[in-house]
Amino acid sequence: MAEWVDVIAESALAIGENIVVDVDGVDVAVFNLDGDFYAIEDVCSHDGGEIGSGVVEGGEIVCPRHGAKFCIKTGKVKTPPAYEDIVSFIVRVNKGRIEVMSS
């Protein structure tokens, strides 16, 4: 059953930063984009490697290995070599804590 998982204090994730956390056994990259929080699975759909260490360009994350780009807000693939979207998660701030909805 899906539930909210507390991952980090809102104040601990500055604008432009991201962190990879465990959400019920799934590695999830949580991003602070201009004070709004988003979360996607920490996996590139092209080769299965992690994506959280990639460069953030605007609202996109660039895969550190092959350069595929994904929308941080939705997980949608933007450029090859990836052709499949990344799973995105619902995020909320509750009493100063960032929470991610497990799947």
CA–CA separation, 70 vs 67, rounded Å? Answer: 10
CATH for 4-101, options being 2.102.10.10, 3.40.50.1820, 3.40.50.300, 2.40.30.110: 2.102.10.10
DSSP structure class, residue 29: E
User: Quick check: 11 pLDDT over 80?
Assistant: yes
Whether 86 has a pLDDT exceeding 80, the answer reads: yes
pLDDT given for residue 2 in this prediction:
86
Strand partners, 69: 62, 79
CA 11 to chain centre: 17
Question: Residue 82 carries which side chain, given as an amino acid letter?
Answer: A
- Residue ranges of domains in the chain: 4-101
Of 24, 77, 76, the closest CA to residue 66 belongs to 77
What is the predicted pLDDT for the residue at 1? Answer: 76
Q: What's this model's pTM, rounded to 2 decimal places?
A: 0.94
C-alpha separations of 69 from 9, 11, 14, 55 in Å: 27, 27, 22, 10
